Amino acid sequence: MQKRKLGMNGPEVSAIGLGCMGMSHGYGPESDRKKMISLIHAAIDRGVTFFDTAEVYGPFVNEELVGEALAPYKGKIAIATKFGINMEGGKQILNSKPDNIRQSVEGSLKRLQVEAIDLYYQHRVDPDVPIEEVAGVIHDLIHEGKIKFWGLSEAGAGTIRRAHGVQPLTAIQSEYSMMWRSPEEELLPTLEELGIGFVPFAPLGKGFLTGKINKNTTFVDSDFRSIVPRFQPENLEANQALVQLIAEIAAAKEATPAQIALAWVLAQKPWIVPIPGTRKLERLDENLGAIDVRLTPDELRDLNSALSKIEIFGDRYPAGSDYAKRAGK
């Protein structure tokens, strides 16, 4: 497994991490705990050293799963988790008040069974708490030895600069894939300038770029994609042009569409570490195989040119939803 460094002074981790959210949250019913622990162990056996979870996934269930699975590997792996979203009355409520951050970190330390959190993200920017105040609390937690590095998720460039000025950021996590290239406009240049790593979630377009989803695909109510405009039948049909392009390249490279999609993300910058999620061993092996897929500069240029001519239909979050309002702040 190749390694990559997150940020100028951050940890060295496997070039592809494992997003653990879907094992117990967001993509249908919770999976069998023992099977997911076995899958996490299989990832470690294959060289994965970077695992992503969050307090609100479940809530708490996913952190407990990851903590149990990784307990035997302390000091050999890096765990990223997140604070700043509470569940109240069945709704997600932003809360990055200092007291809540301190309460969250203690809970995460216990559930993850660690003495220090490797990478601690603010899950979404809280408009009611200045980011400088959040960064100040994080500064104290780092000096107390409770977290090692910190980051922001789905934050805008201005917020990133303000936070970084108080306590240097190690990584930013946001959606990024062939299907969602918005980070290229402002986010990636900002991160490169400041020496901050990038951790793309949904690098496979929430499964769409694997080529296994079409207009006839249905999603259960507990699957987040059931409410996402991008996954409505008409948009699934309209976006098949992107899948076809990826499939053609995959055939030429003797790879799978998922491997091409991940190889494309990896090829953008050497400080990008995608975290595709899966519940299946065969998908884990497929995703990790992207490490061996090489896109030459000419191939990458031609691919980006072709991508620029394809219009993507359907937003990634429902219009007017809390999900949409919280992104890029």
In Å, what is the CA distance from 304 to each residue of 171, 268, 310? 25, 10, 10
Residue 323 burial (10 A CB sphere; 0-12, 13-18, 19+): middle
H or E stretch including 286?
helix 281-288
Q: Which of 27, 57, 120, 121 is catalytic?
A: 57
CA 157 – CA 187 distance, rounded (Å): 6
Cα–Cα–Cα angle for 109, 94, 152, rounded to 5 degrees: 65
List CB contacts of 217: < 8 A, sequence separation 6 or more. 231, 236
Task: Quote the tokens at residue 93.
Answer: 């409520």
| φ, ψ dihedrals at 171, nearest 5° | -155, 150
CA 166 – CA 198 distance, rounded (Å): 19
Three-state DSSP state, 106: helix
| φ, ψ dihedrals at 215, nearest 5° | -65, -20
50, 80 contact by CB (below 8 A): yes
CA 150 – CA 317 distance, rounded (Å): 26
57 is catalytic: yes
Catalytic residues: 57
